[in-house]
Structures are given as C-alpha cells and as structure tokens.
Amino acid sequence: MSSYLDCADRAVGGRRTIEVIDQTLRDGPQSWWGMRMTKAMGLPIAGELDRTGFHTIDLVGSSIFEVLVRHCKEDPWDQLISLSKAMPRTTVRAGTRSNGIVTFGLTADSVMDLWVERLCAHGIGSFWIYDGLFNTEKIGRLVKVAQANGAQALPCILYADTPYHTDEYYAERTRELVALGADGIELEDAAGLLTPERARSLIGAIKAVAPDLPVEAHFHSNNALSPLNYLEAVLAGADRVHTASRPLAAGVSLPSTETTVANLRYAGFDVTIDDSRLAAVEQHLLNVAGIDDLPVGTPAEFSLFQYRHQLPGGMAGTFKAQLRDRGMEDRFEEVLDEMSRIRAELGYPVMATPFSQLVGTQAVLNVVTEGERYSVVPDEVLLYVNGFYGDPVAPLDQNVLDKIQSSPKAKTYRDWQPPQPELSELRKKFGGGISDDELILRLLVPEHDIDVMRSTPPRTVDYGLTSRELANIRKLISTSVGAYLHVESGGFELTLHGDH
C-alpha cells in the first residue's frame, strides 16, 4: 500500500474539496448517550457548528422524538425548531426509514408523508432515507415528498458483510436509487465492518453507476478502521464524510471531526472547515458529560467477533442497557453469538433498524427459553418472514421458517395486509382540531408520556461549569458535615442548605 502522506495522485479527479456532514447533534449522542441530547445541551453549540463550514448538520430522527418525550421530558418539536433556527447558515438534515417511524413495525404511507412534510416545515432541508431491503417504491415516494417540500433526498445504502451483499449487488441497488431522482447517495456502515480494501472497491462500484451524484461515507468506528476507510473512500471518489465532535466520536460512533479533517488535509484534499470553532464545541460537550455523568467517546480495538454479530454502533449501548435491566448483562456475548446464527437463518438481513432490533430481540428470546429456539416470536419477525418489509436478500432456513409459521399467531398473517388509514381517520382518535405536529407526536409516543412531559417543569442546567469545578463541588457536598454549604468559582455561585 502506498504512503497516505503521498496519496494525492491516487485521488479521483486530482485535488478535490471534501465536504463534511456533522453528526454532533444526532448520531454522536445516539451512539454514546442513548439519544438523550436535550435542547440545553445542544443549543449553546449550535451557533459554533453553524459557523464551522459543514455541508450539512444532521439533527433528528423519529426515535429521538420518543426518547426526548419519555426520558428527557422535553418537547421534540420545540427542540427541533430552536436548533434549526439557531443554524440559519447550514442545511439541517433528518433521517427516516422508508416505511416506519419510531416503531420497528410498519407505518402508514399517509403518516410517513406527513412526517416528512412537517420536518420540512420546521427547517429540515435534507433527508437520508434508508431501507435495508430497498423497497424502491416507498423510497421513491418519500424522495418526491421531500423534494416537493424544498428539501434534498439522499437514499441510504446500508452495508452488510455477507456472501450476498456484494459490490455488484450494491451497484445494482444504486442504479435503482439513481433512477428515483435522488440528490445523492449515502453509504452507511453502521457496525464498522468495512475494511480499507472493501471501502475502496464498494465506493468505486457506487460511484461508477452514480458518477454525477455526490456520494457520502458514513462509517462507524466499532472496529477502529473507519478513519482509514474514510481515506480510501475519498480516494475512490466519495465526496463527503460524516463526523462528530471528539467527545461524541470514535468507538461505536463516527470518526472525530478533528482527526478526519487533519487526515484529509495531510492526504492532499481541501476541507473548508474553520478549525478554530471545534475546541469550543468539544469543551462544552465535555462539560455536559461531566455534569450529567455521561460517557465520552473512547476508541475501540479491532475485534473479529464484530463480523459475526454485526451489532450497529447506535444500538450497542442501548442493547447492553436492556440486558442489564433484565439481569442478563453477563450473557451479552452469548446473545451476540445467537444473533449471528439468526442472521444466517433469516436470510442475512442488514443489521440496521428495524432488522438489528428484531434479530436482537429474537436472540434474547432464544437464549432465555433454553433450548426452545423460536418458541416465542415477536410480531416484527412474523412481518419479516411473511415479506411485509420486502424480499430478503438470501433464502431463509426452511426448518426455521416452518417452525415460525407453525404458530397460531403466524397463521393470522397469511391473509393480512398492513393498514393504510387516511389522516382524517387517525385524527378522529384525538379530536378533529388537532394540529399536524400534535398528531405526529401522539402517533409516535403514548399519550400518557406526552402528558407527563408537559406537566414536568423544564430542567434548567448551567453547562458552563468545567469538569474540575463539578468534581470539586461533588467532593465538597459528599464530605460536608454541616447544614450549609456555599461555593464560589469565577462567575459561578452555589448555596445549599437544609435541616440535615
């Protein structure tokens, strides 16, 4: 392999400018903080991000709406509007599945269309649209909805390392997406599975059939190879790369903006990023992590086991937490091993939403039922094996399919069709005068959670404290023996008093 310090001659088209998509407000916190990025955390850095020179700033997805309501007691529409308005110089982006929002099941077309329309109404100017089984009819419809509302639409190719997901397979899917009138193509490696050689060949295959469209590389760092894969991707013709601020980068997240920009410049590419603004964003996020006791990005080591289970970065932390809540944390690797077995049996679905969740859920059920694999099957797996998500890329194991289909619940899906209610029908459930935004919210999140969110006083946090100041305050509080404590540090002042 030639030296990366002298690789400008390898670049497609000579010296080029590589654009950067920022994931500090979306995929970074999704990967490291379980999507719990509140408005108070994000708004102070929105102006800095807006002035940094990013091509696009990714901001929201449907699952984030649910997390903000349920766990953060925050109105997601308010957050979206506030952050979007705080970044007027930069296009902000949202992501959506072609056939579902929040649920791992299926969502009616009318709701999908309204979801895209309302996001556009609140400032979203770009969409990445994904579907692991490439339902081009549904992807194409959303492409047209987004474009009709003034936004760009970039279908997303989800990478999987299987005998069936070849460069030729992905090139053919790219050709179909280009025919939909896409504004670009995004290649996402959610589990960090790409090798430098495969990144080079795959980007080359995609670019060969989409030479006139921008191609984006969105590679997670689960296996520590993504910084190198980014170099190979841009050398093969990729036009944009996705990064996050250092505290929310690396490991299960994406490469850091700081390192990626430096690498690209060393490799002979131009990157129009204002580096002077990166430090302020990094320091703010470190303060947030220190105050709220949140993790910061930690580089991963290469693990061959990753290629067996292919657990995506955005799901790893959440999945571990769910196992911990069920007292199964010590069986994590056993569940991952079961996932690798299920993937092969179910025709190698791409390990991205919703398939990573349904494979993960089935794996947990298979493990806890001790020798009775597939004795309990979630509805989403029944939807999958009956073709409601689309056609699997590979044949399903016939013995497993027979066992799944023999259950009484499976028989109810034989003549079933996904419901396609009109919006007028859905409005009747909540009252005729409900707004579009409120309708979307109540379709995404249970009404009880929305009511609790609205009755909870907003939490105000000063994230201007440094980690050292916070550590000192915690130490003082833990060691104080009196009923009164007063702390001053620079412009910060805190007084605590009580009866005990």
Asked if pLDDT for residue 482 goes beyond 70, the answer is no
Q: Find all residues with CB under 8 Å of 231, minimum gap 6, and list them.
A: 4, 7, 196, 263, 264, 267
DSSP 356-389: HHHHHHHHHHHHHTSS-TTSS--HHHHHHHTTSS
pLDDT (tens digit, 9 = 90+) per residue, 54-65?
A: 999 999 988 899
pTM score, two decimals?
0.88
Higher pLDDT, 333 or 170: 170
Q: Is it true that 15-292 and 304-412 share their CATH fold?
A: no
Lowest mean pLDDT segment, chosen from 18-27, 127-136, 217-226, 458-467: 458-467
- Pure H helices in 326-446: 332-345, 355-368, 379-385, 398-405, 408-411, 423-427, 436-444
Amino acid at the residue 39: K
Where do we find the tokens 């091993």?
337
Asked if pLDDT for residue 487 goes beyond 80, the answer is no
Instruction: Work out the average pLDDT over 96-122.
Output: 94
The top-level CATH class assigned to 15-292 is alpha beta
CATH number of 304-412: 1.10.472.90
Q: Return the SS3 of 287.
A: helix
Q: Return the SS3 of 492.
A: strand
Percentage of the chain lying above the pLDDT 90 cut:
75
pLDDT of 6 reads 62
Asked if pLDDT for residue 45 goes beyond 70, the answer is yes
Asked if pLDDT for residue 23 goes beyond 80, the answer is yes
pLDDT (tens digit, 9 = 90+) per residue, 80-96?
A: 999 999 999 999 999 99
Instruction: Work out the average pLDDT over 390-418.
Output: 93
pLDDT of 307 reads 86
Given pLDDT bands bounded at 50, 70 and 90, which one contains residue 189?
very high
Domain boundaries, the chain: 15-292, 304-412, 468-497
Lowest mean pLDDT segment, chosen from 245-249, 319-323, 407-411: 319-323
pLDDT of 467 reads 54
Question: Which CA distances in Å does 206 have to 174, 189, 275, 410?
Answer: 6, 14, 31, 38
pLDDT of 500 reads 44
